[in-house]
Amino acid sequence: MHARHVLVSSVFLFFVVALCTVVLPPPRWPRSTSFFQPSWLPPLNRRERDDSADAHPPCDYSDGRWVRDDAADVTTYTEDCPFLDPGFRCTRNGRTDSSFRHWRWRPRRCDLPKFNATDMLERSRDGRIVFAGDSIGRNQWESMVCMLAAAVPAASSSRVYERSGKPISRHKGYLAMVFADYNLSVEYYRAPMIVMVHRFPAANNATAGSVRGGVRLDALPRHADRWAAADVLVLNSGHWWNQHKTVKAGNYFMVGDRLNKTMDIKEAFQRSLQTVKDWELSSAQLSESYFFFRSFSPSHYSNGTWNTGGSCAGQREPPTTNNGRSEEEYSWMNAMIAKMTEDIKSHGRKARFLNITHMTELRPDGHPAGHREPGTPPDAPEDCSHWCLPGVPDVWNQILYAHLLSAGYGTRRNQR
């Protein structure tokens, strides 16, 4: 009897173990992550609000893929938008294919809201949207201006204008587009290093290796006081943070009045972000603003760099995976930006890291390449850094819009 009881118990125990083995799935661990290959996220509530206590983490719009879409409305404007820099009008400059315009970004775990220009204009009524950064930031600013202007009736087109009457050109350091019917300005400030850059007298530039300029890591540009009253502030930097634009060009780092010829670029970039962070947290005007710092926008030069014959010509569609080149070169930069924005957010500010690097790395087909602005010398380097418009920066602004929607942007103004 005892032996039979033991046998029955053993069979029952074996059955329970086998059942658990079949029913219970193995644990799933987060895969290795970077700021280029998007991070693992749990299932998402598509209706989440960033400030909701019981909401899932916000959607990771950076994790997705490009899908072909030949619909006529995949772009909200055309090259006829009067506010485009001539260098971004690629088909007008000779590009014969328009395939780069027919790709939509599809996040893997949530839906990306379609950009509604009329809604964005209404939410921004009586406000200011400010972009500050390098010329890639100007690329994004022009995209936003044209996306919004597409919602303005043709009869009211004269009600959208540059505040000072200046032409849209990469040679201007400050431009402000006014949407008069909404009392809205959408502004761009040139700040390629995001901090102040001093230019020294020509007498100091006579010899090789001389000091031509100083990058003030502890001070923002003089026009930064104009950024502070923005309702939406979008900063970017990155393409000038390299040896060619700094020490090889005679531009050395400074803290106060002291020049430092040995400081590492990574340390200098970190100090510049600390200056941005301190400025943002100390500004009472920015306490209710929506603050974004965009991630690095990859270039796509093959068989050389921008000044050694590198090219991106002939690209016709996005690759399904990237080659990791930019990840290795600039992941440190994105990591610093992400940490800085999270630190600002931890103080109760509306700050967000606008992560567009992975999706942008997959678009070597979107650059002007040799189709640059009229008058460019035939032997000039290809442009594989900026973007044709309409094009990739439109998706950056679509994601910016999605983040603003999830944060309830505009409700503060509607309640005034």
Exposed/middle/buried for residue 316 (C-beta within 10 Å: 0-12, 13-18, 19+):
exposed
CA angle 90, 93, 94 (to 5 degrees): 95
Exposed/middle/buried for residue 8 (C-beta within 10 Å: 0-12, 13-18, 19+):
exposed
Given 39, 99, 135, 283, which residue is catalytic? 135
Reference 234, options 369, 138, 326; nearest CA is: 138
Exposed/middle/buried for residue 27 (C-beta within 10 Å: 0-12, 13-18, 19+):
exposed
Tokens 């809604």 belong to which residue?
119
For residue 255, give the H/E element and its range: strand 251-255
Active site residue 223: no
Active site residue 51: no
Q: Cα–Cα distance between 358 and 411 in angstroms, integer?
A: 31
Q: Is 178 left (phi over 0), alpha (psi -120 to 50) or beta?
A: beta
Handedness of CA 399, 357, 172, 389 (dihedral sign): negative
Interhelix angle 135-149/392-406, nearest 10 degrees: 70
Q: Which two tokens stand for residue 185?
A: 């300005």
Given 383, 394, 403, 406, which residue is catalytic? 383
Q: Cα–Cα distance between 342 and 87 in angstroms, integer?
A: 35
Given 367, 371, 386, 403, which residue is catalytic? 386
Active site residue 135: yes
Reference 193, options 177, 208, 213, 172; nearest CA is: 213
Q: What are the Cα distances from residue 48, in Å, to 56, 65, 99, 353?
A: 7, 22, 34, 18
Reference 111, options 50, 54, 59, 182; nearest CA is: 59
What positions carry a catalytic annotation? 135, 383, 386
